[in-house]
A and B are shown apart, each in its own frame.
Chain A
Amino acid sequence: GQQLNQSPQSMFIQEGEDVSMNCTSSSIFNTWLWYKQDPGEGPVLLIALYKAGELTSNGRLTAQFGITRKDSFLNISASIPSDVGIYFCAGLNSGGSNYKLTFGKGTLLTVNP
């Protein structure tokens, strides 16, 4: 089945630093999603990407859908303490009755004030 390799597994950074994380897949997706999950809460959608090569920003977040449709990255600029959490990438190929998200294993981000 499809698998996503998400890296890094964890990051410890100082407030104000930039962060980059990425996901790669052995097969293509037609949608890439990035979610953030705080402890005890559900995943919250950060950015959605629909087209190969697409670069999308949401405030301090920037994400790109790889040209090959097999990868995506998420950048966070000027990190702040509330950026702490687990970030998941997810790929989706929808159509028919298949709406299954394939998740990466997550990147645990710790920001030191």
Chain B
Amino acid sequence: DTEVTQTPKHLVMGMTNKKSLKCEQHMGHRAMYWYKQKAKKPPELMFVYSYEKLSINESVPSRFSPECPNSSLLNLHLHALQPEDSALYLCASSQMGAVGPKNIQYFGAGTRLSVL
């Protein structure tokens, strides 16, 4: 099983709204990731959590706030977003290891976010 589940599938929000994206995996992976993807572009890394602690923040604006409540869950809290933040938001997870299959990232289907 290599399933990463993301909810909701689609989200429309106004610039004053607060919403959250959710991601869940039950593969025992200890690294989880948030990516942002614009149409026909590769995913861009936003955050990395390892062992439930934030290890990488790619200079993401503070209107995006990640949270890792436990080893299976990853949230992305959204507040005061801009229209240019509209994109596909992808969650991924991986084991952690030096080399080899442990570091392969498996992606969820994403949340399509539209900011009006």
Contact = CB atoms under 8 A, between A and B. Distances in A.
Contacts of B31: 99
Contacts of B103: 31, 92, 94, 99
A48 interface: yes
Contacts of B42: 88, 103-106
A105 B101 CA distance: 23
A42 to B, nearest CB: 4
Interface of A: 30-31, 33, 35, 40-45, 48, 50, 86, 88, 92, 94-95, 97, 99-101, 103-106, 108
B50 A99 contact: yes
B112 A40 contact: yes
Contacts of A50: 99-101
Given A97-B50, A99-B31, A33 B104 contact: yes
Interface stretch (B12-20, B63-71, B78-86, B89-97): B89-97
B45 interface: yes
B98 A95 contact: yes
A104 B42 CA distance: 7
A101 B50 CA distance: 15
B99 A41 contact: no
A94 B98 contact: yes
A88 B6 CA distance: 21
A50 B104 CA distance: 10
B104 A42 contact: no
Give the residue among A45, A50, A101 with the most B Cβ atoms within 10 A.
A101
Contacts of A48: 101, 104
A40 B104 CA distance: 22
